Structure 1
Amino acid sequence: MGADRMSSGPNLSTDGVKVARTSRLGIPSGGRWVRITVALAFVAAAALILWNVSFIGTLEAKIGVWWMDLVLPGKIAGIGNSLVYNFENHARGVRVTAECSVAVLIVPVLLLGALVSGLTRVPLRRLFRALLVAVAVQCLVNQIRLALILTTYQFFGRSGFDLSHVLVGSFLSIIGVAFAFLLVVKSGRGEVRAKRRPAHA
């Protein structure tokens, strides 16, 4: 009896509606465990970044040397996780410490992505895209911040360093984090709007 009922027209159409809903949400069968796995992967990635924060700081310094030497007057050199700015035989340098590294900016965004993945139905493709753009923006903002700190320290001494590091640099970091959070949260809001939009016949 149960098999006969499942093969009837009305139940077939009901199954069709279920399939359509799954397709609109962008979640495959068994997607809940996939999303939990992705959330755990984001947490693991955040832990891995914190564990390797010294390496990331050194990598940031090397990237900074590459592009700052092209756009700033004088000579930019790198020693480990330090950036050294030599201008008219006067050299000053700054270190990319754990507190100044982009790693501490990326970790909160990854943890937010883990929450979004585990607790919402935002399509994973949209979430990945938002996180990718967010991380790229944070890396770019932090490179600009490092260049600003290094330049003001070279030309204005300790007062320039304090101003750019504590005030202007922190403001840039806040902008980068806020933009990253906005991207991730917006990906979730887009899914909420999709749910509320009435389906067309």
Structure 2
Amino acid sequence: MLIVSALLLLVFNNRFRSLEAIVAGPLIGLGTGSKVEVEPSVALIFFDVHTWRMEGLRITAECTAAVVIAPFLLMAGGIITFGKFRISRVLAGVAVAAAILFGVNQLRLVVIAFATHEWGLLRGYGWSHLLVGSLITSFGAIVAIAVFFVIVSRPGRRGRIEPAVEGGSA
């Protein structure tokens, strides 16, 4: 089911990008201190609306959190299928990792909008999108991986890893 979810997320990421734009709109408004308008149908966030500085950020298929969440869904599906970990822990781990990655991408969008708002399209957008945005995403992915594996492999009540299926004694 998680593997199918990963594929659906990638194939139908336009709806996910719309959600990202809706959530990012108010955050970008706070980050830039400007009026913001969101066009969810094309995952577009305008800031500095009604000013000569008006800019827009479009969340493209390459810049959505879906491209970093989908591999976690695939990994979790593989762990459930072939691993010896409790399904509830794997599902909890992937849910927390997905939330972290979604939040990190929101932060990345706010940073890009802030830099563009402060230093313009040429100076602000370029370095914030390519360099700082990539660093934010990389750091977020590392944190999400660590948190995922801490949740999945955390010791049980008696201090040992709980098996996926508890069997009787032989």
TM-score of the superposition, structure 2-length normalised? 0.82
**Aligned residue among 41, 55, 76 for 2:36:** 76
User: Residues 14-29 of structure 1: matches in 2 within 5 Å?
Assistant: none
Show the counterpart of 1:63.
23
CA distance in 1, matches of 2:140, 2:8: 21
CA distance in 1, matches of 2:86, 2:113: 41
User: Residues 25-174 of structure 1: matches in 2 within 5 Å?
Assistant: 41-70=1-30, 72-79=32-39, 80-86=42-48, 89=51, 90-157=53-120, 158-174=122-138
Check whether the contact 1:74–1:87 (CA below 8 A) recurs between aligned residues: yes
- What is the identity, as a one-letter code, of the residue corresponding to 2:35? K
Aligned length: 156
- What is the identity, as a one-letter code, of the residue corresponding to 1:81? A
What percent identity do the matched residue pairs reach? 26
- What is the identity, as a one-letter code, of the residue corresponding to 1:118? T
For the residue of structure 2 that corresponds to 1:78, the secondary structure is strand
Structure whose residues are more often helix by fraction: 1
Check whether the contact 1:73–1:87 (CA below 8 A) recurs between aligned residues: no
Of 59-68 and 130-139, the range deviating more from structure 2: 59-68
Check whether the contact 1:68–1:76 (CA below 8 A) recurs between aligned residues: yes
Of 152-161 and 79-88, the range deviating more from structure 2: 79-88
CA distance in 1, matches of 2:118, 2:144: 32
Check whether the contact 1:121–1:191 (CA below 8 A) recurs between aligned residues: no
Cα deviation digits, residues 155-201 of structure 1 (max 9, x gap):
212221111111111111111211222223334443697259xxxxx
Check whether the contact 1:57–1:101 (CA below 8 A) recurs between aligned residues: yes
Give the unaligned 5+ runs of structure 1: 1-40, 197-201
CA distance in 1, matches of 2:5, 2:45: 27
CA distance in 2, matches of 1:110, 1:51: 14
CA distance in 1, matches of 2:62, 2:99: 19
CA distance in 2, matches of 1:132, 1:63: 18
For the residue of structure 1 that corresponds to 2:154, the secondary structure is helix
Cα deviation digits, residues 54-107 of structure 1 (max 9, x gap):
221122111111333345312011123111111671201111001110100101
Of 112-121 and 85-94, the range deviating more from structure 2: 85-94
For the residue of structure 1 that corresponds to 2:56, the secondary structure is strand
- What is the identity, as a one-letter code, of the residue corresponding to 1:85? F
- Residues 92 and 124 of structure 1: CA distance in aligned 2, closer, same or farther (over 3 Å): same
Check whether the contact 1:74–1:88 (CA below 8 A) recurs between aligned residues: no
TM-score of the superposition, structure 1-length normalised? 0.70
**Aligned residue among 166, 179, 192 for 2:143:** 179
User: What's the RMSD between the two structures over aligned residues?
Assistant: 2.1
